[in-house]
Amino acid sequence: MNKQETLEQLDLDAYELPEKQQSELNQFLKICREFMDHCDDEMVARAFKLCYASHQGETRASGEPFYEHPIEVAKIIIRELGMDDVSVAAALLHDTVEDTEVTLNYIEQKFGSTVANLIDGLTKISGVFKNKGTKQAETFMKLLLTMAEDLRVVLIKFSDRLHNMRTIQPLPRKKQLAIASETMELYAPLAHRFGLFQMKSELEDLSFKAMDPTGYKFIARKLRDKKESREAFIEEVMNPINKQLEDSGFQFQIKGRPKHIYSIYKKMMRQQKPFEEIYDLFAIRIILDDPHTKEDCWRVYSFITDWYTPIPERFRDFISVPKANGYQSLHTTVITHTGKKVEVQIRTKKMDEVAEKGLAAHWKYKEGSSEGKNIERFVHWIREVLDNPRPDAATEFVEDFQLNLYTDEIYVFTPKGELRTLPQGSTPLDFAFEIHSEVGERALASKVNGQMAPLRQELKSGDQVEVITGKKVNLSADWLNDVKTHKAKARIRQFIRQQEREIADKGRELWEKKASRSKLEISDQELSKVASRLKFPSLHKLFYDIGAGAYDVTKLYKYVKKYKDKGRFSDDEEKITPKDAKDSEDNAYEIVYDESTLTSASKGLVMNGEVTDVKYSYAKCCNPIPGDDVIGFISREGDVKIHRVTCKNTRHLIQTDGDRVVDVKWAPFTGDQFTGAVKIVGEDRVGMINDISNVISKSLNTNMKSINISSDSGMFEGTLILLVKDIKHLENVIQNLQKIDGVKLAYRYE
């Protein structure tokens, strides 16, 4: 009897678990009853037993029993998302069909069609993820298509990924980076779009922790150090408000929630400021208990602004106009009596649950008057972004999709007063395509708030937009940089590809006429070899350049005739070798592969225990310095480009060409110098530049490549480009610059 027969003949009701696992089941059912209004204990118990029986003997990378993973995923579904017992059963069994001998038919017989359909959806997604021949973009599209059938699939998949990220540490470094990058690029933005703020924040933080452990620990330590002062500040600010709310009969909670670590890091990078200069590290949240209403939120807002001065441009009313994911709250930033700025968010308890759990909360409240419509909007949105995407445009689709996921929204109106939601930065062109594809294609001009406006003009919330159309298609390739929405970009790219095909067809026609007149015969297969030897990525690109006039068809004819006459077209023909890439001036510092067979070496790269002769250089986009966490990418020519793990290009490279990723580490110091940049801010006084130069050149024996200083209103800001030995050397420079009289800030500049 094989394992499948054994499992599928198992009487789940009569099956007795070992003592330890029975205790775990009892505790699990207790959690279910605590968090669910209704729970089918028998169904959940059967799912728990099958989970244990089917995964018995399997272990994870950490050495822990594998069955504990689906149980933890199910606990996330229960505690953190508040989902139903059907979702819990599916979570417990989500790996069985894929990884064990259990069949989908057996699942349907024992647990019903709904559980079986959920597991089928999850298995399809996992199968695509494991297909190494499938591009990541196409995988993501498959994920979305499956989600559109039953949105509970995405909640289980997110919970699965969240637990995997929480337990990522035992995996090899290269695999950690790949999973963390995928999580940051795909799962976190999608969680954001579905309003799963709590999950999105943790996914981002865990990904950041895996990709840049040093940066994560630095910000986490800073937040811990400031915890007491933060709590004291919140108490001081909210004391008078607290009393007024109590006197007015409000039932409420006040929370001072710090921003999550990755959002602080992004703000530091975006504003190029150190941690100490980021003022909105946390927000004060006032949550009104049920049955308080949105009108009560406005009353609380009036209390806040009676005590403190609001900053008008920082006010956001997401109650009257919710975000597309259903988020509702009043946001205001006020200046306290001590001159500090603080953000205050005001919402009801139900709004808070939707804000934290998004789609899961909508699911919970779907019996209500409006929440069912929110779920319908989610499904409509997914189907809209998946509206006939071309398989060969999958990567473009995901890039546009990810941009739209994180973009802030604006709200504009049609001439009839209908509300439309668009990404921030949208133009009348985006609005036109949002109304209908034909309106976008035939757009000639626009009116914004009754006044003629360019089609490229950036719209603002509250604008009323009218698009003037013609009878003919008026598409332009130039529009691509003037639109934000995926729908507009997809149609314009389709138009551009159509133009490219027409130009390439013209090029082919020119070639065929030239070859026909000279009676030169050559197959497309041979001609593709010619295109490759002439450094064209494809035969299509060769024909395109001929059609566009960028490559002379006579040159192609002469090249083909020369080699055709010599009979040089054979599979073993020597290829034209590319010019040797110019070595980077900084590529003297030693790098070694960080593999299981890693050995130290003073020169070159080491892989599989041997010193290799691979050329390598340092990426100019991030200027890695010894001591930085780095990673390597093998180029088509076989050399290695070294990037910092935190580099903005690293994540993209991992996603698009993960097979070319290699783990690298710094070898012992050889005395070479590396480029580092420092931002410095301080008082503009006589002799300041001289003091800075002296500290760098004399005290620290550091060479300065350039200095760029600008001053305004008694303050200066400058950027120093230095040559340093390693990260400790750079940190030493920064510490000494901070000691100069009048210098307020000095920090590494990206």
Domain positions in the chain are 3-170, 494-566, 591-666, 674-748
CA dist 390 and 397 (Å) reads: 9
**CB distance 709 to 678 below 8 Å:** no
Residue 69 is predicted with a pLDDT of: 94
**CB distance 215 to 203 below 8 Å:** no
Q: How many CB atoms lie within 10 A of CB 625?
A: 23
Task: Enter the tokens of residue 517.
Answer: 């007149």
DSSP letter, residue 64: S
Residue 127 is predicted with a pLDDT of: 44
Query: Measured at the alpha carbon of residue 525, what is the angle toward residues 524 and 529, in degrees to the nearest 5?
Result: 110
DSSP letter, residue 460: -
Q: How many CB atoms lie within 10 A of CB 295?
A: 8
Place domain 3-170 in its CATH homologous superfamily. Hypothetical protein af1432 (1.10.3210.10)
DSSP conformation letters of 408-434: -EEEEE-TT--EEEEETT--HHHHHHH
Segments of the chain scoring below 70 in pLDDT = 1-5, 8, 124-149, 324-325, 359-408, 566-614, 636-638, 652, 655-657, 667-671, 699-700, 713, 750
Given the candidates 3.40.50.1370, 2.40.10.10, 2.40.50.140, 3.30.70.260, the CATH classification of the domain at 674-748 is 3.30.70.260
Q: How many CB atoms lie within 10 A of CB 579?
A: 6
Task: Give the catalytic positions in this structure.
Answer: 98-99
CA dist 457 and 43 (Å) reads: 57
Dihedral angle sign, alpha carbons of residues 334, 336, 339, 340? negative
On the 0-12 / 13-18 / 19+ scale of CB atoms within 10 A, 400 is: buried
The pTM of the full predicted model, rounded to 2 decimals, is 0.63
DSSP conformation letters of 194-244: TT-HHHHHHHHHHHHHHH-HHHHHHHHHHHHHTHHHHHHHHHHHHHHHHHH
**CB distance 204 to 263 below 8 Å:** yes
**CB distance 518 to 557 below 8 Å:** yes
Residue 49 one-letter amino acid:
K
Parallel, antiparallel, or unpaired: how do β-strands 743-748 and 341-348 relate? unpaired
Residue 571 is predicted with a pLDDT of: 43
Residue 128 is predicted with a pLDDT of: 40
CA dist 358 and 219 (Å) reads: 27
Beta bridge pairs of residue 316? 331
368 to 195, 244, 315, 357, 363: CA distances (angstroms): 18, 32, 29, 17, 10
DSSP letter, residue 557: H
CA dist 67 and 57 (Å) reads: 9
Task: Enter the tokens of residue 400.
Answer: 């546009």
CA dist 128 and 110 (Å) reads: 26
**CB distance 651 to 399 below 8 Å:** no
How many residues are there in the chain? 750
Q: Is 674-748 in the same CATH topology as 3-170?
A: no
Q: What is the pLDDT of residues 58-103, one digit of tens each?
A: 999 889 999 999 999 999 999 988 888 999 999 999 988 888 888 8
CA dist 114 and 149 (Å) reads: 12
**CB distance 745 to 675 below 8 Å:** no
Element (H, E) at 299: helix 294-307
**CB distance 310 to 333 below 8 Å:** yes
**CB distance 282 to 256 below 8 Å:** yes
How far from the centroid of its chain's Cα atoms is residue 478's Cα? 27
Q: How many CB atoms lie within 10 A of CB 614?
A: 17
Closest to 87 (Cα-Cα) out of 158, 161, 30, 4: 158
Q: How many CB atoms lie within 10 A of CB 257?
A: 11
Parallel, antiparallel, or unpaired: how do β-strands 252-258 and 282-288 relate? antiparallel
